[in-house]
Amino acid sequence: MNIAQALAAARTLGVDRLDAQWLLCHHLGKPRSWLLAHDDLVLTPLIEQELAEQLARRAAGEPLAYIVGTQSFCGMRLQVTPAVLVPRPETELLVQWALELLPHAPAPTIVDLGTGSGAIALAVALARAHPELHITATDASADALAVAQRNAQQLGLKVEFVQGPWWAPLTGRRFGLAVANPPYIAEGDSHLAELTFEPKQALTAGANGLDDLRSIIQGAAQHLLPGAWLLLEHGHDQGEAVVGLLRAVGFNLCQTRNDLAGLARCSGGRWAPPVACAKN
């Protein structure tokens, strides 16, 4: 079987041509442009067998990133496993917003809550390599933290990883900036049928998808310095609800930002603790 025949076989299985090309690139160690000029190259029996197995997995709906074991994010190539969500391009908006705010943060400390593969924390570390900046990342899953730690080591980036849900492992600590991409899909949402290969605990959060967002917002007061921002990724129809939750506990300057598709994707606010009234 040559490259052209392999692509035809992928089409027969219903696998997107681009996905099939990326699988071939992964096996051959060549860029996609090279494939287009060498579609008569005959594959070795081993590559042909492995490719057939991987095409079957992709045809069954398994994410390409799990099949090849990596995913690109903010210019990094990250390892991913079924223990973590596959990093999405829209999450880069959260990284960009955090990088805008970091120079004005009340302290050079940032926490990434529910880090998964480490994508957000590592992207910030890569873009802001400064000795005074301290980045902490938490996750309730030991398996997820293991993936994040491997990514940090591979990229040579310094991040402190702590196991525990959201703010729980950070008792007594306050930060100059906090970011999170928590589960925000409502239980029973029809889109979950397309996400069966990714960890459900990293996807769903209660009947309306707001449970984890609410938990993070309500716990923020004990862990943010005055003037620190909390930035949250959420579903396209949750921006108004998230801003309402932020305002209800004392955040100001609350706003929502849209992704490249024009959908509300991230909301955030600046922590403004109430000022105690002086007694006469």
pLDDT tens per residue, range 166-212: 999 999 999 999 999 987 765 665 565 566 656 666 656 666 778 88
Burial of residue 112 (number of CB atoms within 10 Å: 0-12, 13-18, 19+): buried
Q: Name the packing angle between helices 3-13 and 45-59 (round to 10°).
A: 20
Question: What average pLDDT score do residues 50-61 get?
Answer: 89
Mean residue pLDDT of the chain comes to: 88
Q: Are strands 76-79 and 70-73 parallel, antiparallel or unpaired?
A: antiparallel
Q: What is the pLDDT of residue 278?
A: 47
Q: How do the domains of the chain map onto residue ranges? A: 3-60, 75-271
pLDDT of 127 higher than 80:
yes
Q: State whether the Cα torsion 46-47-52-55 is positive or negative.
A: positive
C-alpha–C-alpha distance, residues 39 and 117, integer Å? 35
For residues 64-93, one letter each, b for 16 or more C-beta atoms within 10 angstroms of the residue's C-beta and e for the rest, the string is: bbbbeebbebbebebbbeebbbbbeebbbb
Tell me which of 210 and 266 has the higher pLDDT: 266
One-letter amino acid for residue 20 of the chain: A
Cβ distance 113 to 151 under 8 Å? Answer: no
- Cα radius of gyration rounded to whole Å, the chain: 21
| Domain 75-271, CATH | 3.40.50.150
Q: What is the pLDDT of residue 204?
A: 61
